[in-house]
Amino acid sequence: MTSTTSEASPSGEELEPPTTEIIRRPNLGLVDWLTTTDHKRIGILYALTSLVMALVGASLAGIIRGELALPGQQIVGSSTYNQVFTMHGTVMVYLFAVPFAFAVGNYLVPLMVGAPDMAFPRINMVSYWLYLLGALIVLSGFLTSSGAASFGWFAYPPLSGQAGSPGLGGDLWVVGLMLTGTSGILTALNIVTTIIMLRAPGMTMFRMPILVWDMLLTSFMVLIVFPVFTSALLMLLLDRRYGTNFFAPESGGQPILWQHLFWFFGHPEVYIVALPYFGMVTEIFPVFSRKPMFGYKGMVLSTMAIAALSTSVWAHHMFATGDVYLAYFAVTSALIAVPTGIKFFDWIGSMWGGRITFTTPMLFAIGFLFTFLLGGLTGVILSSPTLDFSLTDTYFVVAHFHYVMGGTVVFAVFAALYFWWPKVTGRMLDARLGRWHFWLLLVGFNVTFLVQHRAGLEGMPRRVADYPAYAPYATENLISSLGAAIIALSLVPFVWALIRQWRRPEPSGPDPWDGYTLEWLTSSPPPEHNFDWLPTIRSERPAYDWRHRDTDGVGALGPDDPWRRRTLHDTKWFPLHPWVEEHPGSARTGPPPGTPVTREAEESPDA
């Protein structure tokens, strides 16, 4: 992974003499990694850290499933159990799901828009280190005598207040999350600026890959809601340590205020977690169907609708408080199903009539579809206050959000890992092991969580360390715990594949999948400055256009050119983002069409 500049760039420099002097640092190994401002290295650091966090969260989940496997079973006891489920939620939501999305955003957004780096590389570095520091502070609660935070990942006061949870673990939780929250805000600023300011010539907004759109809209949501959360955490810290009474009822504070502030952040957070992963699978379906993305505009508009609606649904987490206006939040929550449905049909449309190859990333993306479908359907059920009174805070909800936030994220994470691994490392991951990994995870995940719906309907409340032997949901819990073991087992082929690609590397070349977006036009791994040249960008599939530039109707603009038709269509329907007519020489930043596509051949005429 570290030898990014070994073969490609020396000859690249000969091709184009630099106009300003480039000072190359000596290769300092670890120090390079610790001081890097390169978006790709920061992306890799983010990915490694968040995957370690995922392992931590998964181990905590293992303890939970062990404890609940049998009634009366005591592996850790109530006090530790409460810490464990609190930290499981905290780690998975705050320290894994969002940071991994930032990892992908960091690595891919500049590549996909044809930029050499993020807009603010040093701020990018600060974000990563703030995240790491915050994560370690949150986890360090386990090292204190009173243990880690144990008030659930949404920390309802008064339980999370000084009287409810006096231990130091709670303070570490609050402070750590304030740091990761700040890190998220900085990253979001960086991503928004990069996307708006650093797109390559020809990369109009409506030619950006959907992943870039989703990262952009996610970042806007982060900018809207993370400051609210960070401020609420500060209020909680002041309540806990400095005697203020924002949330303490005995002195006029309002516990319900925290719920409003938290869920105003917390529900958009669900989409902040989900949207980048939607973007990742959206990049994968068309490539392996040999089709363009179906309904690009609809996809973008539906993402905008979700982002907008998500800030007006927060109180559906509070139906059972009896303190919110039910009808309004019922309507807005149910409405989210509509843009989500559009996305679903766009994904199906992207495969419709395609030539589908079931590579490992495609399998995981399809696994994502099934998982998200189930989670979406139970989401519609939960959006109804009539039903939510009965179902909220039961295992039905636990199952629901593990489908929408757990399964979808995990399937999309693996889809992304298998898809972009060759780009990041230059090596392929074994396909056969990948299939094993996929099937084991699919079975394990559904065995674990499908029965939890039933446990919830039968009356199992969430966040209990134990349940009586006569409970009707005892069998469901045993099945669920067995499923968790299958999930753990599914990691074996994955780890094996990692070891295998490390010991017997199988070079991938720049573009093993016949990809569509710009990152596939540079070497694997990409050089430090990402691109030596860029093709003309005429659609959201510049690499596809480049590959088929000699095919009729793809390369050149003609009277019945598909891209010309697309231009007319876009100008008519989306006048805010007109397509700029490309003049030869002004919009093109690479060699003219006709030059061979591989890097070596591209460099040879001048060399």
Partner 1 sequence: MRDELQRVTLDRRPVQLLAAVAAVIALGGCAEQLGLPRAASDQGETVGQVFNLYLIVAYVIGAIVMGLIIFVMVRGRASRHGDGPGSQRHHNTPLEITYTVIPLLIVGALTVVTLFTIGDVASDAPDPDLAIEVQGYQWGWQFTYPDSGVVITGDGGTPTELVLPAPATVRFTVRSNDVIHSFWVPAFRFKRDLIPGTPTSFSVDTNEIGTFDGHCAEFCGLQHAEMTFTVRTVSPSDFQTWLQDHEG
In 10 A of CB 323, how many CB atoms? 12
CA distance 199 to 191: 12
Is residue 566 within the footprint of partner 1 (CB under 8 A)?
Answer: yes
* CB nearer to partner 1: pick between 369 and 443: 369
Nearest to residue 1, comparing CAs of 416, 413, 427? 427
* CB nearer to partner 1: pick between 358 and 502: 358
Q: Rule CB under 8 A: which of 274-333 touch partner 1? A: 289-298, 320-323, 326-327, 330-331
Chosen residue from 66, 459, 591, 593 binding partner 1 by CB under 8 A: 459
Q: Rule CB under 8 A: which of 62-121 touch partner 1? A: 78-79, 82
Q: Rule CB under 8 A: which of 1-60 touch partner 1? A: none
Is residue 574 within the footprint of partner 1 (CB under 8 A)?
Answer: no
* CB nearer to partner 1: pick between 7 and 323: 323
Q: Residue 431 region, left (φ>0) first, then alpha (ψ -120 to 50), else beta?
A: alpha
- Tokens (6 digits) for 233: 């955490």
Chosen residue from 183, 194, 360, 394 binding partner 1 by CB under 8 A: 394
DSSP H helices in 120-167: 121-139
- Tokens (6 digits) for 378: 């139970």
Number of residues that bind partner 1 (CB under 8 A): 87
Per-residue binding string, partner 1, 142-181, x by CB under 8 A, is --------xxx---x-xx---xxx----------------
Least spacing, CB of residue 495 vs partner 1, in Å: 28
Q: At a CB cut-off of 8 Å and minimum separation 6, what does 13 contact?
A: 22
Distances (CA, A) of 354 to 289, 347, 359, 502: 5, 12, 14, 34
Chosen residue from 387, 482, 485, 597 binding partner 1 by CB under 8 A: 387
Could you please report the per-residue DSSP string of 287-330? HHHTSPPTTHHHHHHHHHHHHHHHTT-GGGG-GGGT-S-HHHHH
Is residue 126 within the footprint of partner 1 (CB under 8 A)?
Answer: no
* CB nearer to partner 1: pick between 277 and 473: 473
CA distance 312 to 24: 50
Q: Rule CB under 8 A: which of 330-349 touch partner 1? A: 330-331, 334-335, 337-338, 341-342, 344-346, 348-349
Chosen residue from 32, 458, 528, 582 binding partner 1 by CB under 8 A: 458
* Diameter over CA atoms, the chain: 80
Chosen residue from 52, 457, 488, 491 binding partner 1 by CB under 8 A: 457
- Tokens (6 digits) for 164: 């409810």
Is residue 366 within the footprint of partner 1 (CB under 8 A)?
Answer: yes
- Tokens (6 digits) for 313: 């649904």
CA distance 365 to 493: 18
* CB nearer to partner 1: pick between 348 and 568: 348
Interior angle at CA 94, CA 92 and CA 95, nearest 5: 70
Per-residue binding string, partner 1, 202-241, x by CB under 8 A, is ----------------------------------------
Least spacing, CB of residue 262 vs partner 1, in Å: 13
Would you say 125 and 36 are in contact if contact means Cβ atoms under 8 Å apart? Answer: yes
Is residue 141 within the footprint of partner 1 (CB under 8 A)?
Answer: no
